[in-house]
Each structure stands twice: as C-alpha cells, then as structure tokens.
Structure 1
C-alpha cells in the first residue's frame, strides 16, 4: 500500500483538511486545520489541491517511514526535521525515497506544524471530509503502528520553497463587531483594544485563553444573554472578564457575550502564537473586514505563483544581473598574491 508508516507520534498529531462546512445547524462546527493558510501553502509547494488531507502536529511530530517513493512538504510552525539523519528545510517540498525515515521533532517557532504528501492522505471520509474532530467523535489521533494511506500523486516536482510570513510571532489581530459588541461599554471596548494580551498556556483546538494584566472585561448588562450560535474567531468574555478566542473545534452555541470576532484570515496568527506571545486586538468595521478578508483570499490564490526553487538554476534566472555575484576584486599583479596567510 502506498502510505506512511507511523513509528511514533506526538500527543496532538491528527489528519486534518479544510473541514466540514454546512453542518452548523446540526451541531457540528467546520473543524479542519487550525492554520488554514499552512494547508494552502503545502498545496502550492506540491502543486495540488488545498482540499487534500494533511497531518497536523502540535508541539512535536514523530517518526514516519515511506512505503513507496513520496513527495512531502512541511509548512506552519517550524519544527526540526530530517530524513535518515539528514536535516531538511521547512516551508519547502522534498522527495522521500521508499524505506526512508522522516523524523519531525519539537517546534522551534509557532505551535502547529503540517506534513503534506503528494496525493494527500487518503484516510476514511466521514461527512464529506477526512478532518479529525475529536470533540464530536470524528476520527482519532495518529498513533504508533498506524499506516496512513496516501492517494495517487500526479506530479514529480520537489525542491520548492515559499517565503515564511510573520504569523508565528504574535502581533495585531483584526476584529469585527459581534452580536454583543455594542452591549459592552465603550470604555471597556477601548481598554480591550489598548490591552497587550498574552497567549495563555491553557489552549486547545476549541479555544485559546487570553491573559493580561489589570482588571477583566466583564460587563454586567452583557451577562444575561440567551445562548445562541457561535463561530470560530468569536471572542467570548467569561464571567470573570477573561477573553477566550474560539477556534476550529469550538461548540456551536454559547451563552457568554462576545466582544468581537477575529477575521478568518487572522485566526492563524492566534493559533500559531506560542504560549506567552504578545497579541493585540484591533477593531475594524464590517466593510473594512470584508476587504481585508477578500485580499487575504486573493493572496492564497497566488501562493502557487510565489513558489520558488530551493536551489536556483542560473540558466533560468531572468533577474541574474540584479544579484551581486562578485564581492570585491584583487589585481593579478598584486605583489603579495602568492604569499601565505
């Protein structure tokens, strides 16, 4: 069988894809990868559809053996990686020969790393997707002894790379108004936007707690709402005033007030922030948010064109003259040319 043998796996390794849209009314959130941009990046590196399933790794990866020659790509939070002891580059595509062992170690930057294979992981489809959704009982974590089937690969290109972006180091996250935003006093909303938060270690695929100094953000008149629909990106404020950013496997309804909703294109920045990383929330209007999201969607569509070779062929470099190929010069008649150091 064309696949990947799992010799060992970290505690949060699972098959993911773009999720299951359309089931919210039935009590099932979209789920899917925590960092959807990483899924699109891997697809661009391997020149295949972003809907193919990938392996999501949290904190550390594992050891895997190829049953046939495979192509892989590594994206998302950077982890140590080698093939039979030879280090390989992250955010790039590589060839893995039959019988070779791929080892993926601890995270260096970010939180979630992704392993892509040419042809995608061909695990069982459930409700139209292969994504593991543990809170709803769909799928299971990858474990030692598993063999993950891999679909047919229609390409052979490897040795490609993408420039990493800045989503792994925290920063500013854009937020649009939510159902209860206006129920929060303007002073609380202003203080929320001016606060420097830290990603709390208490986090999972359902939600991430935001820690900060000073008083919380509870608002008495916003604490008596009826439980209603919620979506990933909603920022719920608990009774003690603590914000939680809801993630891919959040519940479908909730009764905590929401001070705002993170734009989908900025949610990977929250997901990838390591514990203790600084995050700030910036309120934007719905119109501004729609424009930012449209621009981000356009950028995803352009990822394939942004892929470049890890090692460039001089004969194909149209911009060769823009490179400084010689750094300094020395005369052949220099009197000390033949002298030793």
Structure 2
C-alpha cells in the first residue's frame, strides 16, 4: 500500500478536503479545509483536481516517512520543511523518495498549512468526503504510528512553484449585508467598518474572535433572536458587542445577530490571520459581492496556469535577451578605483 507513515505529529493535524456540502438541513455544516484556496493551489502544483484529500496542519506539522516514491506539495501557512535535512521551498512541489523523511516544523506566517500528495490521501470516505469534522464526530486528529494510504498518482511533475498572495497576514476583508445588518444602528455599522480589529488568540476551526479597542458593537434591538441557519463567513455579535467570524466547522444554527457575512473568497484571510494580526471589514453590495466571488472562482480554475518551475531553464525563457545578465559583474584583475 502506497502511504505516508506518521513518525511524529503536531496537535492539530487532520485530513481535510473541500468538505461536505448539502447536509446543512441534516445538521452538518460543510467543514473541510479552513483555507480552500490552499487546497486549490496544491492541486495546481501537482497537476491534479482539487477534490483530493490533504493534511491540514495548525502551528506545526510533524515527521513523516514515505513507504513509496511520492510527490508532495506544500501550501497555506508557511512552515519550516525538510526532506532528510534538506530545506524545502514552500508553495512548491517536491519529490519525496521511498524511505526518506519529511519534517514539517513550526509556522512562520499564517495559521493553517497544507501537505498535499500526488493521488491524494485515500482515507475512509464518509458522506462523500474524507474531511475530519471533529465537532460532529467524523474523523480524528492524526496520531503517531498512523499510516496514511495514498491514492494512485497519475502525474510526474515536481519542482514547481506558485506565487503567494497576502492572505496570511490579515488585511481588508469584504463582507455583504446579512439578515440582521440593518437592525444595527447606522453609527454602529459605520464604526464597525472603520475599526481595525485584532485576530484574538481564542480561535479554532469553528470561529475566530475579533478584538478591538473602544466600545463593542452590541445591538439592543436584537440581543436575542430566534435561532436560524448560519453559514461559514457569518459575523455574529454577542451580547457584549464582540464579533465572531464563523469558519468551516461552525454550528448550523445560531441566535446571535449577524452584522455581515464574509465573502467566501476572503474567508481564508480571516482563517489564516495569526493571533494579533490586523483585520478591517469593508461592506460591499450583494451585487458587487457576487461579481467579486465569481472572479475569484474563475481565478481558482485558472491556477494551473500560474504554476512555474522553481528553477527556470534558460532554454524555456522566450525573452532571455531582455534580461540584464551581467549587471554587477566585476573584474578580479581590474579595479575602477585605479582609474583617474
């Protein structure tokens, strides 16, 4: 059996994929990876579809041994990584030879890192997904001694990379109005949009607490509302005025008012923001939000075209002659300081 032997693992490592859509009415949220863009990036690096299962790592990864020749890719939060002591580039694909040891260490930037394998992790499928959904009792965290089966790999490319974006350090998050947005006074909505929040350390796959200076954002008109369906991206405001952004493993219903909902394409920015990172929320209309999301979906489908070799072959560089290849070259025999 092709597989990856777990020699050591961090406290928050589990198999994830794109999740389980379609079960909300039965009490099960989508779940899946906290950063879906990272799943698509890994798929592009390995030239395979994005429905393959991956490993999601929080804080640190672990130590793994390949029992067959494998291809891997590393995306999401940047972490230290080595194969048999040799340092690996992040947001890139690599060969993992049979018997070699892959070590993935602490996070350098971001929160959720991802390990992909060619062929995907072929773990048990439950309700059309291999994703661990721990709050619902599906799947489990990785343990020392586990052997993760790997599916048949149809690709061969390694040594590829894809550019990173700015989602790992916070920034501006676009939101659309939600069911209770207009129940918040206009001055509260304006102050919410003008506030720079900090990603609170109190966070997990269910949601992230937003911390800020000054008074909270409570809504006396809707301190208690009838529980209704909620989805990842909803921003609930608790009775003391604290906003919480719901993530992939949020509950299915809730009774706190929602001041807005994060666009799916911007939700990875919230999930990946490290503790203390600055975040701002910007309202956009439903129409603009739909257009922004449509463009983001198109970009995900075209990610394979953004993949480039880690080391470029000069023979493949069409505009080679336009590069300044000798700038900065100095002579060992002649010094310009001797002139004049």
Report the TM-score when normalising by structure 1: 0.97
User: Residue 55 of structure 1: CA displacement?
Assistant: 0.2
Residue equivalent to 2:6: 6
The runs of 5 or more residues in structure 1 that have no matched partner are none
Within-5 A mapping of 1:270-281: 270-281=270-281
User: Residue 170 of structure 1: CA displacement?
Assistant: 0.4
Distance (whole Å) between structure 1 residues aligned to residue 334 and residue 220 of structure 2: 85
Distance (whole Å) between structure 2 residues aligned to residue 196 and residue 273 of structure 1: 13
Distance (whole Å) between structure 2 residues aligned to residue 84 and residue 166 of structure 1: 30
Distance (whole Å) between structure 2 residues aligned to residue 56 and residue 29 of structure 1: 18
Moved over 3 A (4+): 328-332, 334-337
Distance (whole Å) between structure 1 residues aligned to residue 329 and residue 159 of structure 2: 33
Distance (whole Å) between structure 2 residues aligned to residue 21 and residue 172 of structure 1: 27
Deviation string for 1:92-143 (max 9, x for gaps)? Answer: 0000000000000000000000000000000000000000000000000011
Residue equivalent to 2:310: 310
Distance (whole Å) between structure 1 residues aligned to residue 196 and residue 331 of structure 2: 58
Deviation string for 1:222-248 (max 9, x for gaps)? Answer: 213110000000000001000000000
Instruction: Count the aligned residue pairs.
Output: 337
Deviation string for 1:173-209 (max 9, x for gaps)? Answer: 0000000001000010000000000000000000000
Residue equivalent to 1:119: 119
Describe the shift of the 1:328–1:80 C-alpha distance in structure 2 as closer, same or farther (beyond 3 A): closer
Matched, 1:193 2:196: no
Residue equivalent to 1:225: 225
Matched, 1:290 2:284: no
Distance (whole Å) between structure 1 residues aligned to residue 52 and residue 288 of structure 2: 31
Matched, 1:36 2:36: yes
Distance (whole Å) between structure 2 residues aligned to residue 48 and residue 143 of structure 1: 27
Residue equivalent to 1:99: 99
Describe the shift of the 1:159–1:218 C-alpha distance in structure 2 as closer, same or farther (beyond 3 A): same
Residue equivalent to 1:165: 165
Distance (whole Å) between structure 2 residues aligned to residue 329 and residue 98 of structure 1: 42
**In structure 1, the residue corresponding to 2:299 is in which secondary structure?**
helix
**In structure 2, the residue corresponding to 1:123 is in which secondary structure?**
coil
Distance (whole Å) between structure 1 residues aligned to residue 45 and residue 215 of structure 2: 45
Residue equivalent to 1:251: 251
Distance (whole Å) between structure 2 residues aligned to residue 5 and residue 312 of structure 1: 33
Describe the shift of the 1:83–1:219 C-alpha distance in structure 2 as closer, same or farther (beyond 3 A): same
**In structure 2, the residue corresponding to 1:37 is in which secondary structure?**
helix
Distance (whole Å) between structure 2 residues aligned to residue 241 and residue 298 of structure 1: 36
Distance (whole Å) between structure 2 residues aligned to residue 335 and residue 246 of structure 1: 65
Question: How large is the RMSD of aligned CA atoms in angstroms?
Answer: 1.4
User: Residue 319 of structure 1: CA displacement?
Assistant: 2.2
Distance (whole Å) between structure 2 residues aligned to residue 330 and residue 107 of structure 1: 40
The runs of 5 or more residues in structure 2 that have no matched partner are none
Distance (whole Å) between structure 2 residues aligned to residue 57 and residue 122 of structure 1: 18
User: Residue 320 of structure 1: CA displacement?
Assistant: 1.2
Distance (whole Å) between structure 1 residues aligned to residue 335 and residue 55 of structure 2: 59
Distance (whole Å) between structure 1 residues aligned to residue 44 and residue 267 of structure 2: 20
Report the TM-score when normalising by structure 2: 0.97
